[in-house]
Structure formats: structure tokens, C-alpha cells
Amino acid sequence: MSEDPHALFAAWFAEARAAEPNDPEAMALATAGADGQPSVRMVLLKGHDERGFAFYSNMASRKAEELGATGRAALLFHWKSLRRQVRAEGRVIEVSDAEADAYFATRSRDSRLGAWASDQSRPLESRAVLEARYAETAARYEGGDVPRPPHWSGFRLLPDRIEFWEDGAHRLHHRRLFTRTRQGWDEGLLYP
């Protein structure tokens, strides 16, 4: 029954990109602070390979602070149209500067400007303050490239566990769990 969970994810993700009407790359990212307080939010998958799942953020955001405090996270993809879910848990590391630069360069100019203008997760006095900061940033980089801010980078979740869930009749769902070992991956089934 064993196969590579990253190859299986790639196949399921390709199906989701063809079938899911909105944001097939959306994933719930769960973190916890040093005090154990859990937090979850939706983020977008921006890369996947045999190393894991990559996503990007302001490094002063709550999620980045919590990832720095614990070094661990969990994520969940829910593709309702396919009646499938994928869960992954594991260590989180920061991506390289080269990877962050390469991804940042693919973002729209407006999104790159927004990364400079926003103090993500910090209190905001008013929407007008954010819009003024955005306008100031746009004026500063008018006619030129918008470089990656020093406070903006990415993370990669290195999974220890990946679970593939498929809906089944009468709630007899099919659950496959891959667990990382020193030799690769062990696969087993879970009761629904």
C-alpha cells in the first residue's frame, strides 16, 4: 500500500486545481504561542516538493512569532468539491533568502507595495492610515522595482505526518496516514 505522500499530494492538488472553484491552494495553518495558546488562519500554499509545504508572511506577524516560539505547525487543505482533506504536521523552518526573493518577485506590484505598507497583525488606528502608508510606499518606488522588505520571508513545513482523508458513504471515510521514519515513510490506515 505504501507510496510517496508528496507524489500523492501533488496528484490530489492537481485535481483540486482543476475542480475547486476558489483558492485550491488555501490551507488552514495552525500554530501555538510559547504559552500554548492555539491560533489558526487561512494562508496560501506557494510551493510544495519533497521537502514540504511553503508559504510566506511578514516576519513580525503573529503567525511568524508563534512559529519562531515553537518551530512547529499543522496545516489543513479542505477541498469541498472533491470531498477530500489533507492534514500535515511537523517542524517549520524559514526558507532561504533566494527562495523568498524569487517568490516575492512573482507577486503583483500592488502586493509587493502592500508588504512594505503593512505592519501585519499589529493594531491599526484607521484604514486611512494604511491607505496613506500604501500611497507613500507607491510614491517611493514609483518607476522602479519593489524589493523584498527585510521583514518579509517564508516558511516551509517539514511534515512528520501527512493524512489523506476521503469522504465515504455512511461516514465510512477512507483515511491514510503517512508517518516519517529514518528510512522514509510508513503508511497505515485510521478508523474514520
Give pLDDT tens digits for 43-67. 999 999 999 999 999 999 999 999 9
Q: How many domains does the chain have?
A: 1
Q: How confident is the model at residue 2 (pLDDT cuts 50, 70, 90)?
A: low
Assigned C-alpha cell, 17: 486545481
Model pLDDT, residue 26: 98
**pLDDT for residue 121 is more than 90:** no
Mean pLDDT of 73-90: 97
Alpha helices in 5-82 (DSSP H): 5-19, 62-70
**Structural domain range at position 89:** 5-190
Instruction: Tell me if the pTM is above 0.75.
Output: yes
Model pLDDT, residue 55: 98
Here the CATH number for the domain that contains residue 35 is 2.30.110.10
**pLDDT for residue 1 is more than 50:** no
- What separation in angstroms does the CA of 14 have from each of 62, 76, 86, 166, 179? 31, 16, 13, 16, 23
Model pLDDT, residue 79: 97
Instruction: State residue 140 phi and psi, 5-degree precision.
Output: -65, -40
The strand ranges marked E within the chain are 26-32, 38-44, 47-49, 52-58, 72-79, 84-94, 152-166, 174-181, 184-190
Give pLDDT tens digits for 12-21. 999 999 999 8
As annotated, the active-site residues are 171
